[in-house]
Amino acid sequence: MERFVLFPGRHHLLTRFQAGYLRGLAGEGRRTVVWAVTSANHQNTKRNPVGYDRRQAAIERFSVQEGLRSLVVPVFDTAHTDRFAEVTLKSVESVLGQTLTPHDTVVACSTPEVAAMYAELGFEIAGVEAEHDPAPDRPWDVLLRLAAGDPAWRDLAHPASLDVYDRYRLEEQVAQVVNDPVVGEEGGLTTTRDYRTYAEAFEASAERKWDLVRRHVRPGRIVDIGCGAGAVLALADREPALRESDLIGVEVARHLFEECVHRKAQGWFTNPNVYFYCRNVLGGAVFPPRSVDTTLTFALTHEIWSYGQRMDSLRRFAQAIYDHTVPGGVWINSDVCGPDNRVRRVRLALQGAAAGPPADLTGLSREEISALVEGLPARARLDRFAADFHFPLPFDALPDGTVDIALSDAMEFLTHKDYPDNWLSEAHEQFCGLEFADWKALLTDIGFEVDDASHAWRNDWIVEHRLDPVARLSAEDGTPLPWPDTHVLLVARRPLNT
């Protein structure tokens, strides 16, 4: 009867300790080691910085060097479940056609919670690092040493991992992903965002976005940063004038990046030169200098401003785009925008009344928060937003029921208030940090030439459907004011002589 060691784990990095331990446990080849590589469909996230293909390569090299007979099985990530052990065993059976049982398999696992699940199924447990006192560094601890710049990680890591990390230049990538101050553990800007809703919104607006920018696109290497699920690139793919161009999407959110890859595999694109990268552009340059003809950004720059360090992050981003743009190339940016004269004091009249101090949202689900916000009239929703917004939003309630507020703060609330499904995520983003004049000054200072096609504009659909029904804007003397601009289109070119 063939006997096995089941070794479940993420296996981003293998250690010298594991080598000695597995040699003893496997009994010099008398047991086959089954490496169940969990989160095999994840990469470029804090929890899973290394892709499955690189992990498998290291395991195979490790096995050859240590004289182990190994089988490697990918286990896709699942929602948290008390049946994790059963899910893993079924994945092994599906891939290998081999049912592992307590009669022929020992489970090597150092995580007590996971080991307990296998023990409940009757498996003998080998504790790996947990068997030793003091316990040696676990693989994840070694990886964190790498991320912290501690050279001791190389003494603890197995030569197989060192070889793969060095050949594929993973050390810098892992450190960058693990230390990223913006991206969360699962590869996104925030854990409160419903990416399904966002993907649907991207789809609905893709044609409008493409129509807005298509005449400014320069053929060649075309990059959409923050490409969502790839909807705009799919429209670019249909343009006869761009059939010889490379179409490249960059997306930080793992959920959306995976949808891009899936769509490419399903034949969404006819151009063979379509590529996608899961990257955080704030982490450093993605493309070589002077290598991109057109950069597209839609509804992205306000996120860089909001989740980064405001103007410092935005300037670094603009500089990175300038650097990777060819002379004569173009950056086309479409986003929300603050109104001119942002600090002007105005009077804002809102439907409904204030509702007292906002309730504590701690412990509430996204659905519960959405229902709570949905039930508030506009005036009470302002109080709710001011409490949840990650930026100061001061205002004074006046005896006549209006509020005295800065114009930009009024527009912050009015352009955020209709997103209850992603309320806390939206409350982390500032839409009105820059007005059009600020944008022109920044781009010019970087070295771009701002095309005359650039302009601020007002989304009248928002005015008709979201502002006029519940709000009125007036000057301090009561004179009615028109709604200001809400968006900006920027067409910035790198001069030919630079």
C-alpha 249/C-alpha 143 separation (Å) is 29
Distance CA 339, CA 412 (A): 10
For the sheet containing 403-406, what is the strand order? 395-397, 403-406, 345-350, 471-474
8 Å CB contact between 405 and 335: no
Q: What is the pLDDT of residue 56?
A: 98
> So what's the pLDDT on residue 199?
53
**Can you give the pLDDT at residue 180?**
65
- In the chain, the amino acid numbered 435 is E
Which two three-digit tokens encode residue 212? 């807005």
Model pLDDT, residue 168: 95
Instruction: Return the pLDDT at 197.
Output: 55
* DSSP 8-state symbol, 214: G
Cα torsion 14, 20, 25, 30 to 10°: value is 100
Q: 3 has which bridge partners?
A: 31
Distance CA 198, CA 254 (A): 13
Residue 454: closest CA among 407, 488, 403, 410: 488
**Contacts for 24 with CB less than 8 Å, ≥ 6 apart:** none
* Per-residue confidence (pLDDT) for residue 192, from 0 to 100: 45
Residue 221 three-state SS: strand
Element housing 25 (H / E): helix 16-26
Contact 305, 434 (CB under 8 A): yes
> Tell me: the pLDDT tens digits for 328-385?
999 999 999 999 999 999 999 999 999 888 999 999 999 999 999 999 999 999 999 9
What does the pLDDT read at residue 29? 64
**Residue among 298, 240, 295 at smallest CA distance from 271:** 240
Instruction: Check the CA dihedral 454-212-319-433 and report its sign.
Output: positive
At residue 212, the pLDDT reads: 93
Q: In the chain, which stretches have pLDDT less than 50?
A: 183-195
Q: What 8-state DSSP symbol labels residue 40? A: T
Q: How far apart (Å, rounded) are the C-alpha atoms in residues 177 and 187?
A: 9
C-alpha to C-alpha distance for 221 and 168, rounded to whole angstroms: 25
Task: Return d(Cα 187, Cα 423) in angstroms, integer.
Answer: 20
**How is residue 98 written in tokens?**
């081999």
3-class state of residue 264 by DSSP: helix
Q: Which two tokens stand for residue 426?
A: 């939206």
Contacts with 209 (C-beta within 8 Å, 6 or more apart), sequence order: 232, 298, 334
The most distant pair of C-alpha atoms in the chain lies apart, rounded to whole Å, by: 90
